[in-house]
Amino acid sequence: MIDALIILDDDNSPRGMVKTIPYLCRAKFQPVSGFKIEQASEASMLVMDLSLNSEANVSFIRKLFRILPDKPKIVFASRSDRQEIVQACAIGGATILGRAESKCVINLSLRKIFRDLGNPFYRVEANAAAAAAMRVDSLYADITQSAIVEAPLPESGILACARNVIDAVHGQGVDSWMDVVQKHHSHTYCHSMMVSGYAAAFGEELGLDTETINILVHAGLLHDIGKVRIPLSVLDKPGELDEEECGLVKRHPEFGREILSSQANMDERIIEVAYSHHEYLDGSGYPQGLRGDRISPLVRIITICDIFAALTEERSYKQYYSRRVAYAILLEMGAKLDRELLKKFRPVAFRSEFGELRRTVKDINARKLAVSA
């Protein structure tokens, strides 16, 4: 099951803001000529990015909407094209959006559909971590969409995002943060929130000062921003990537550095993390094959958080590991990761179990007291 099936004209790639949708939820593009009805049944919503000046397209949409009356639908039209708007209204039964709509409108429309569909992210009980995750939802969507359409990244949005992550992890603990963000429909959101959440908890565990924790969390949020330049057909490809595709994916640190360097006031340490988070201490990483001391402590911290998040992220369509197995996998990476740091990451990785252990010990002691009294 995917979130959105986006049906396109055969000779067009997604237009305007349509291309940001797959970064806000799990979506697939489908040219209209190869469309099969089963694909529509397997998607939670349908998105039409078809020219509405074509009669064939309009009757295709009408027929599809008749077959699937209850499925949420979005129809894109060009606001400057009167005929398209008239056609979109005449089709009915769908949310109509302009191709040049603001990021916020696209995001709110999707969010409303997810909410109406009963998406678990929007059903979490109203605790402080959930409230923070919800605030970060639209802030982070705005950051990602800006990167996709090559607009300046919203500085105040990034700041607010980081603040919310730090406060939620500090106040409610890393586990409640992970519980909430894992229910989100977007892989991009989920991964970035997990990495920055672990970075906040790890920074605190290491006793780092507030400013450094702040940089770490910013770096966690933005470390994979370069992936917006990699085609979805490659990023979401089921199964093995070929050599060329692999080479392209490995360029995301370089793309990330480019995107972040072009922003005013971007801290060099955040750019460095985006560029070097796939480097390993033994020189086997990429893009530069850096070794040992040439990899800064901040990069090493994010690399641990990044791999741990990727391994433990619960997605229905990929294998994921328990925290125990994920931590064992990190240990098995041997000389690639910083052993001392990895040791110190243990209480962050097993925070809930440590919490449970503490509670059990307290419980046993309390019972002992009760017996002796």
Residues 6+ apart with CB under 8 A from 14: 6, 8, 21, 29, 49
Least distance (Å) between residue 251 CB and Fe ion:
11
Least distance (Å) between residue 306 CB and Fe ion:
4
Rounded distance, CA 217 to CA 167, Å? 11
Least distance (Å) between residue 278 CB and Fe ion:
6
| Amino acid (1-letter code) at residue 368 | K
The smaller minimum CB distance to Fe ion, of residues 164 and 192, is found at 192
Indicate whether 279 belongs to the interface with Fe ion (CB under 5 A).
no
The smaller minimum CB distance to Fe ion, of residues 22 and 256, is found at 256
The smaller minimum CB distance to Fe ion, of residues 111 and 252, is found at 252
Least distance (Å) between residue 230 CB and Fe ion:
11
| Part in contact with Fe ion (CB under 5 A); list of ranges 96-104, 147-155, 217-225, 260-268 | 217-225
The smaller minimum CB distance to Fe ion, of residues 32 and 221, is found at 221
Least distance (Å) between residue 244 CB and Fe ion:
19
DSSP bridge pairs for 62:
none
Q: How many residues of this chain interact with Fe ion, rule: CB under 5 A? A: 2
Indicate whether 224 belongs to the interface with Fe ion (CB under 5 A).
yes
Angle, CA of 291, 296 and 301, to the nearest 5°? 105
Burial of 360 (0-12, 13-18, 19+ CB in 10 A): exposed
Least distance (Å) between residue 214 CB and Fe ion:
19
Rounded distance, CA 214 to CA 212, Å? 5
The span from the first CA to the last CA of the chain, in angstroms, equals 59
The smaller minimum CB distance to Fe ion, of residues 101 and 224, is found at 224
| Part in contact with Fe ion (CB under 5 A); list of ranges 19-27, 224-232, 241-249, 335-343 | 224-232
The smaller minimum CB distance to Fe ion, of residues 3 and 224, is found at 224
Least distance (Å) between residue 255 CB and Fe ion:
10
Sheet containing 73-77, strands listed edge to edge, beginning at the edge strand earlier in sequence: 27-31, 2-8, 43-49, 73-77, 95-98
Return the SS3 of 337: coil
The smaller minimum CB distance to Fe ion, of residues 99 and 252, is found at 252
The bridge status of strand 73-77 relative to strand 27-31 is unpaired
Nearest C-alpha neighbor of 95 from the set 48, 36, 142, 58: 48
The smaller minimum CB distance to Fe ion, of residues 78 and 196, is found at 196
The smaller minimum CB distance to Fe ion, of residues 130 and 274, is found at 274
Angle, CA of 86, 91 and 97, to the nearest 5°? 65
Cα-to-chain-centroid distance, residue 176: 17
| Part in contact with Fe ion (CB under 5 A); list of ranges 100-108, 110-118, 221-229, 332-340 | 221-229
Least distance (Å) between residue 92 CB and Fe ion:
42
Angle, CA of 205, 207 and 210, to the nearest 5°? 110
Binding mask 292-311 for Fe ion (x = CB under 5 A): --------------x-----
96: left (phi over 0), alpha (psi -120 to 50) or beta: beta
Least distance (Å) between residue 304 CB and Fe ion:
12
Indicate whether 313 belongs to the interface with Fe ion (CB under 5 A).
no
10-69 residues in contact with Fe ion (CB under 5 A) are none
Interface residues toward Fe ion, by CB under 5 A: 224, 306
